[in-house]
Each structure stands twice: as C-alpha cells, then as structure tokens.
Amino acid sequence: MSEDRIDRRRFIQTAGAAGVTLLAGCSADRVDSPTDTTSTEPTEPTSTTVGTSDGRSDTLVVATYSSFIDAVSTSPGAWIKQQFESEFDADLVWQTPPNELDQYIQRANAGVEIDADVYVGLNVDGLIRLDDNLESGSLFAEAPDLDGAGDIKEGLQFDPQGRAVTYDTGYISLVWNATADGGEFVAPETFDGLLESEYAGDLLAQNPSSSATGRAFLLHTIQAKGEENYLDYWADLQANDVRILDGWDASYSAYGKDEAPMVVSYSTDQVYANRAGQDMDRHQIRFLNDQAYANPEGMARFAGTDSPDLAQSFMEFMLRPEVQAEIAVRNVAFPAVTDAEFGDEHAEYEQYAQVPPEAVSFTYDELRGNLQGWIEEWSRQIAGN
C-alpha cells in the first residue's frame, strides 16, 4: 500500500522560502488510495517514537500520523502529551510508523505483537481497508462508554462497529480569489454553476485516486448528482476545462501562482491566511450548494492493549471541551463535539474557520464495496481522457 501524506505546514514553509505565497486549510492531505491493498508481508516495527519513560507508573503508547506531532508550534501532539502527563501518572509515547495503519494490519496478519495502546487518525477509508484486509480477529476493540462521547456532533461518527470515536473533522470546500479579473470575479454558488462558460478553465481540482481532498470532492459530486449521473457531471466539468492535478500541493501551488481563481481545498483556509497576514480577498470560501464534504478523524483502542483503563482515560481526555478546542486550533480542523471551549485566546480561529451550513458524507456501509468502483470508473472515463 502506497500512502502519500503531504504535510501542508511543511509545504507552506518550503514554498514560502522560495518566495511563493501559499496558504492551506488543514494539517495534512492524507492520501489513502482505496485501489491499493495492504501487503501480506509484515514490516519491521520501524517508527518515530516521541517521548520516553520518566519513571511514572504506566506508559501509554499512542500511534498516529507524523504531522500530528512533528510541528511543535502548530501540531497538537506535544501539547496533548504535556497536558495528559501533567494530570495522569503515566508517560505518553507517540509512535508514528511510516506506513501508518497498514503496519498494524500487516503485523496482526503475521501474528506479531502490536506494541501500541491507542490509534489516533483513523478515517472511514482506513477502516474499510482494515476490514477488507485483516485476516482474522480484531485489531481494535469496541470503544467503551466514554465521558464526552454523547456530545459528538450528529453525523460525524463513522464506524458502525463502534471501534472508532471521532475527535475532529475537516470540511472540503472551494477557495476562491476575489481579486481575480480585476476584482470582478465571484465564485459560483452551486455545482451546476461551475459548468457555466464564464468559469471555463477557472477550477483546480485533484485526482481522487491520489488525493484525499480530490476524493472528498468526487464523493461530494456523487452526493449532489447521484451515482447514475456523476460521471456525466465530470465530463461536463472536463468540457469546461477543469484542471485536475495529482494532489493538493500541486493544485494549491498553481492557485497561489494565479493560474486559476478557484481550487478545491479546506474551509479553514482563512485561518492560515490570517496567521500569515495575507489579503483575505484571495482566500474566500465557497460552499457549493451550501454544503461541504466532511472528513472526520477518529481514535480507537487496540484490542490487545495491556492498559485498557489508561487508554480509556486518554480517549475521554481527547473529548474534553477545552482539549477539543486545542486540538482543532493546533490541527487546523474542527472539534468533534458540540461544546468545545475555545476561549478568548482563540477568538480569531473561531472567526476564520468556516463551518458549512450543511455537512454531507457517505457512511461506511455506503462506501464499502462502492468507493473503489467509483474511483476506477472516474479514472477510466475522466483521467483517461
């Protein structure tokens, strides 16, 4: 399984050093190609481990993706570790295997011990891949009754088996440049509007087989147009000169260079624009059909953990209102719960992180058995032309 995780923070820093003004809407473009399957060969447990034992009574090992912890000033990992350890008599050790969830699937299939207690960063694609490739047993246990779980926003829980518990979400939207066309440009308000001739060549999108943002946008078009009509809609987009690039970084780079006035991105784009002191007119958000596609992330307890109570305490800690706010701000996402406590220090974040009037998504059951086929059909008809 090949995964291309693009850390937008690192991308922005690199591009900025080259003199290109680039901003972003979420912490990472997580690309889990649903057309790939996990290897049956176990991998060595190579990973980056952050945190060591300080002699406390317990150690909790939490597996996650690297950008959740590796940018100290913006990632939530370091803050979570400090806050959790200050309250609990335990060391929190982050584990970031290079092939992420796949490593644990491979090790489980090989009968190799799983040396972690909690996984942070699951999404519905990963769960489907897990359930399609795990040969026997359960990698994750059903979540216990957690304090705070009842406050998770309706529609964000994505695991019908109750293993994964949502802790944040992102929303895919259009970002558009109101300074284009001499300040006369205005993005359309609907999917049908994108097909109008006045927007020919104005949209930058991503390939859904290699980009999480591209995949979410494809799924949103299927929601809007139906499984029977989405390919016709994409053919019309293609006829209107949509430009489809491999990933978010390439498309956003092109947007930053004014190659087009609209790009598929994230509704937190203005958070980065505000932090960088950029012209907000160049970072307008458009929710087509007054909607955005939700990409929630979840956490789950490994079935073989020898610290189930501590793992439960960690999951409950992650759902606390004040912790939810910090995760959202530092991960440039949105809290999963309805009662997140941002406080005055995060007033600007609340102002610039835009929530859609309506969040849409497919369920696990709707995606399993269909997602791969939808993308393959799209690739044959659209990418192949």
Higher per-residue confidence, 52 vs 221: 221
Give me the pLDDT at residue 49, please: 53
Mean pLDDT computed over 295-311: 97
Our CA angle for 18, 74, 23, nearest 5°, is 40
Mean pLDDT computed over 171-179: 98
Provide the residue type at 306 as one letter: D
Instruction: Give the pLDDT confidence of 71-84 residue by residue, as tens digits.
Output: 656 799 999 999 99
Q: Classify residue 74 as left (phi > 0), alpha (psi -120 to 50) or beta.
A: alpha
Instruction: Give the pLDDT confidence of 249-287 residue by residue, as tens digits.
Output: 999 999 999 999 999 999 999 998 998 899 999 999 999
Mean pLDDT computed over 61-75: 86
pTM for the complete prediction? 0.86
Same domain, 192 and 275: yes
307 is written with which tokens? 């610290």
Same domain, 63 and 96: yes
Alpha-carbon distance of 356 to 169, in angstroms, equals 12
Instruction: Provide the 8-state DSSP code for 68.
Output: G
Counting the structural domains of the chain, the total is: 2
| Domain boundaries, position 209 | 6-30+170-293+366-383
Give me the pLDDT at residue 17, please: 35
pLDDT at 39 over 60: no
Name the helix (H) or strand (E) containing 231.
helix 230-239
Kindly indicate the confidence band of residue 383, based on its pLDDT and cuts at 50, 70 and 90: confident
Radius of gyration, alpha carbons of the chain: 21
Same domain, 156 and 68: yes
Those residues with Cβ within 8 angstroms of residue 383's Cβ, 6 or more apart along the chain or in another chain: 207, 209, 244
Q: Which neighbouring-strand residues pair with 284?
A: 176
DSSP string, 93-161: EEEE-TTTHHHHHHHHHTTPPP--SEEEEE-HHHHHHHHHH--SS-SBPPPP--TTGGGBPTT----TT
Is 337 a member of any domain? yes
Q: Which neighbouring-strand residues pair with 171?
A: 294
Nearest residue to 121 (alpha-carbon basis) of 183, 206, 195, 30: 30
Residue 190's Cβ-count burial label (10 Å; 0-12, 13-18, 19+) is middle
Q: Read off φ and ψ for residue 93, nearest 5 degrees.
A: -115, 120
Is 42 a member of any domain? no
CATH number for the domain spanning 163: value is 3.40.190.10
Same domain, 13 and 58: no
pLDDT at 50 over 60: no
Same domain, 100 and 248: no
Same domain, 74 and 183: no
Alpha-carbon distance of 223 to 1, in angstroms, equals 27
Helix (H, G, I), strand (E, B) or coil at 71: coil
Count of CA atoms in the C-beta half-sphere (13 A) of 96: 13
Same domain, 133 and 244: no
Give me the pLDDT at residue 384, please: 75
Same domain, 279 and 300: no
Beta carbons of 263 and 276 less than 8 angstroms apart: no
Same domain, 340 and 224: no
In the chain, DSSP assigns E strands to 6-7, 28-29, 48-50, 58-63, 90-96, 118-122, 165-176, 203-206, 243-245, 262-266, 284-286, 291-301, 334-335, 358-360
Mean pLDDT computed over 313-318: 98
Give me the pLDDT at residue 74, please: 77
Q: What percent of the chain has pLDDT over 90?
A: 81
Is 360 a member of any domain? no
Answer positive or negative: Cα dihedral of 156, 125, 47, 74: negative
Is 351 a member of any domain? no
Helix (H, G, I), strand (E, B) or coil at 209: coil
Is 356 a member of any domain? no
Kindly indicate the confidence band of residue 385, based on its pLDDT and cuts at 50, 70 and 90: confident
Is 178 a member of any domain? yes
Same domain, 54 and 130: yes
Those residues with Cβ within 8 angstroms of residue 324's Cβ, 6 or more apart along the chain or in another chain: 167, 168, 318, 335, 336, 337, 340, 341
156 is written with which tokens? 């964000």
Nearest residue to 313 (alpha-carbon basis) of 80, 121, 13, 107: 80
Same domain, 106 and 213: no
pLDDT at 369 over 60: yes
Is 41 a member of any domain? no
Provide the residue type at 63 as one letter: A
Is 164 a member of any domain? yes
pLDDT at 194 over 70: yes
Same domain, 115 and 75: yes
